[in-house]
Structure 1
């Protein structure tokens, strides 16, 4: 009962939020160099992306699994690249999730927040937006976010942006101005990243200071690396670790729990079936059944190995479902012969 009350409060807080998240494609697919132990590298890449933990390969409880990484591979193919041969490897999602579950490591599903990054570089006292996709910092940013499974939004830096936002605004963290300009991109998260040159042991190094705000709190981090690729990989790892702590869910090794949610505005059979499929694709959900259909709404019972809070964190980033705010919403309703918790009502959104 306490768990459902806490979740109900969370739903009320989220009901006014507009969420337009991205779905990470190929969450369990790795792209690694063909040289060396590519099977181990593929397992490490996928585990890092799904858990949000950049140091997961160092976990002693997983040491034995990396020695038998081939057991997690479903498909692979060799890919020729100008910079060397690579392997495209598809891992078994069920086995990967079970491995994390057995070791009490949270799993972060494919529906993740869209992240808008304002990137500024300072050279010899001059600050400028990193605007062109071919710039090393920009190219490294896109590659690193892709490998980490972080949906990236890049500003257009067009007249609308440049007339209302300056490099100094981003460098200094003037959030009121930044948030106003960012509205047009409809991001879930806005990140400011400022890059300059520093020295470490007498050697020039790249330094990145980044920050984001959420619920009145500002998160900051500083990263120093030798080159653009290493800098952005560390940036993506740092951000991914933060977000995974918030949105990833530990899957219980015990029996599944049942939750019921109601979805409105289902005007035809294809929509009814599509919602069922969307729910079945969520991490930790083992079964979805329709327990009631009336007019244009349906109730779905979900059997899941994650908590109600974890389930809500996943649902909030589904672009097809929007939480309905209702006063005096009953926390429990009778479903068929038994009492099942109806922990939220959603609206189906046609895209």
Structure 2
């Protein structure tokens, strides 16, 4: 386990509140786009200090956060045996860092995915994998007779403080739960006709307005206040979701955001989480390799993986064109497998920029818009935050997305790059 007690760097200070970085593909919205979460097992919590007792409490607080995020439900903290698991939190930590920001000691940590998943299985709790559906949230808020649309934030946003507050609450809570969510572009904010369609929950019209934006599911939500209570009512469209209206009520915007996102997370986890009995002793991850154009490439890629110490077995689950999808069973933690693969220069890791454009979690691509270099640099910094970061899966077909949703672990993407072998051959 790696640790650090140095002060936070500038980037770490900016990351004290969990920052989400979204990576949304610039292609027409369609079912099963999916995003993969790269920090699902990370946590950032306040602690009383860097003493052993403070750090121990930080381990437990961080694991609580991760257990809720990975199981998809806060109810996991009420299960029999959870206290025993929390007492062993330190043994599940891969790395941590203690620092201070604005006079508050904080602890950032990363837990082992395999260890956490096995811990949840021991509690007979479900495990929701790292590949999750992306929700495009169309949300209208009515307050004091005025309605407004919550839109993506831009550097020159003219959105009211009220809408900005709602957006901030929803983004923060969604980050805590590992729930990928984006908002419509700010260009829609002055469209009163569209706002009326949203309030009336006319799904077809909102779907038409969503063209050009990546999503798996659209939600149409209306929020209103009556007396001292806020109420949200919403419907889902896409991926065969039940179209009936759901609702939640609370006394404050923050509390309502928590209740709404809790329901969303539990609904998605109920569809995509696997049962405890399906969490195998020998974990397996999908490794997607592009650029496999010959039988020799196929054989060399499989042979290379089979020769790596953590690998127990390699099976070809799918071949489509020059894309090879391998199911790799491994021992230890996933990061150890990634480290071994990184040592082989023929496996070139596919990063987010290879397939997508990075945007802030509170932003969404405007139709026909582009992201300039300056914005990309700011967004790249955001993606280095301690909390979950999301990136869209490289473009594939519906089967690729379906396979991703069924996988417990982050799908690993590489491009096969032949290297000169002995005698001038390629291997």
State TM-score, norm by structure 1: 0.68
Aligned to 1:221: 246
User: 1:277-335: per-residue Cα shift (whole Å, max 9, x none)?
Assistant: xx99xxxx97434599899465745559xxxxxxxxxxxx843542579xxxxxxxxxx
C-alpha contact 1:19 1:319 (8 A) present in aligned 2 = no
Structure 1 residues 247 and 319: alpha-carbon distance in aligned structure 2, compared to 1, 3 A threshold = farther
* Residue aligning to 2:226: 198
Unmatched segments (≥5 aa) in structure 1 = 1-16, 305-316, 326-347
Other-structure match for 2:16: none
Distance 1:185 1:153 in 2: 10
* SS of match in other structure, 1:77: strand
Which segment drifts farther, 255-264 or 110-119? 255-264
**25, 32, 40: which one aligns with 2:45:** 32
Number of residues paired by the alignment?
288
2-structure distance, mates of 1:232, 1:258 = 35
CA 175–286 in structure 1, closer or farther in 2 if over 3 Å, else same: farther
Corresponding residue for 1:23? 36
Match of 1:208 in 2: 232
After the TM superposition, which residues 6-17 of structure 1 pair with which residues of structure 2 at under 5 Å, given as runs?
Answer: none
Looking at structure 1, the residues matched to 283 and 128 of structure 2 have their Cα atoms a distance apart, in angstroms, of 19
The answer to whether the 8 Å contact 2:71/2:128 transfers is yes
Contact 2:288 2:324 in 1 (8 A): yes
Pair 1:58-2:72 in alignment: no
Q: Describe the superposition over 1:65-119 as per-residue Cα deviations: whole angstroms up to 9, x where unpaired.
A: 1233222222221243348332212112121011122233222222111110112
Structure 1 residues 261 and 94: CA distance shift in structure 2, 3 A: closer
Q: Could you say what secondary structure the match of 2:118 adopts? A: helix
Q: C-alpha separation between the residues in 2 aligned to 1:83 and 1:259?
A: 41
- Give matches, 1:106-185, under 5 Å: 106-131=126-151, 133=153, 135-158=164-187, 162-163=190-191, 166-185=194-213
Render the CA deviation track for 1:209-255: whole Å, top value 9, x for unaligned.
Answer: 22213437314332222322222122111100000111111253667
With over 3 angstroms needed to count, the CA separation of the structure-2 counterparts of 1:83 and 1:20, relative to structure 1, is farther
Q: Comparing both chains, which one has the higher relative contact order based on Cα–Cα distances under 8 Å and sequence gaps of 6 or more? A: 2
2: CA distance, partners of 1:323 / 1:132: 27
Q: Which has the higher strand share?
A: 1
Whole-Å Cα distance in 2 between the matches of residues 137 and 83 of structure 1? 27
Change beyond 3 A, Cα 1:239–1:259 = closer
Q: In angstroms, what is the RMSD of aligned CA positions? A: 4.1
1:241 to 266, 275, 291: 266
Q: Which residue of 2 aligns with 1:252?
A: 278
TM-score for both structures, normalised by structure 2: 0.57
